Chains A and B, each alone.
Chain A
Amino acid sequence: DIQMTQSPSSLSASVGDRVTITCRASQSISSYLNWYQQKPGKAPKLLIYAASSLQSGVPSRFSGSGSGTDFTLTISSLQPEDFATYYCQQSYSTAYSFGQGTKLEIK
């Protein structure tokens, strides 16, 4: 099984801040890494696929990078609607797995 570990588990930030969330895989997954945003009571929403490709309709302040085992999701300038929980997910293996999530809260 491929284990995904995110850090930090929670993060407080202010509108306008630049924020980075890290995801580490227990083995190399090349660029088979996706990022999702989830708001309370809602289904997850795809932000980034293939580690760095921005899903259609997602604001350009979101970006992803990394390959192998270490990946990052960056929000360049936080907006009020960005406060949510973020998950990474690997699709290298047919047995998918998610990170434990990073909750982004307003400072």
Chain B
Amino acid sequence: QVQLQESGPGLVKPSETLSLTCTVSGYSISSGYYWGWIRQPPGKGLEWIGSIYHSGSTYYNPSLKSRVTISVDTSKNQFSLKLSSVTAADTAVYYCYMVRGVMIGYYYYYYMDVWGKGTTVTVSS
């Protein structure tokens, strides 16, 4: 059974860089699939941050692209999120996820299938 666990500081100062790690158990990242991050500000909806393929190809939310870096460390079976120049608007619960896919007919469909429990990050001085 695949499990994901987020870790990282719960408090980050404005203008600094938020860094989170997602540790994967029950599956080897290097075997495939996409991995990524979403966030949820207090009382608000889900915002997709970005994804990374096991090979290292990355895909980011255009509104965050200039500040986001997602990377993979296959030796540790982890992937990470860095968000630079944070402000109070970046305060949120951050979730890591695994994307799986299925072939239906001639097409491959992807969906977020496994999630971490989430970690709260507050941006404040």
Contacts and interface: CB of A to CB of B under 8 A. Distances in A.
Interface of A: 1, 30-32, 34, 36, 38, 43-46, 49-50, 53, 55, 85, 87, 89, 91, 94-101
Contacts, number: 66
Interface in B73-121: 95, 99, 102, 104, 107, 109-113, 115-118
A41 to B, nearest CB: 8
Interface of B: 38, 45-48, 51, 59-62, 95, 99, 102, 104, 107, 109-113, 115-118
A44 B46 contact: yes
Chain B's interface: helix, strand, loop or mixed, by majority? strand
B113 A100 contact: no
Contacts of B47: 98
Nearest to B58: A94
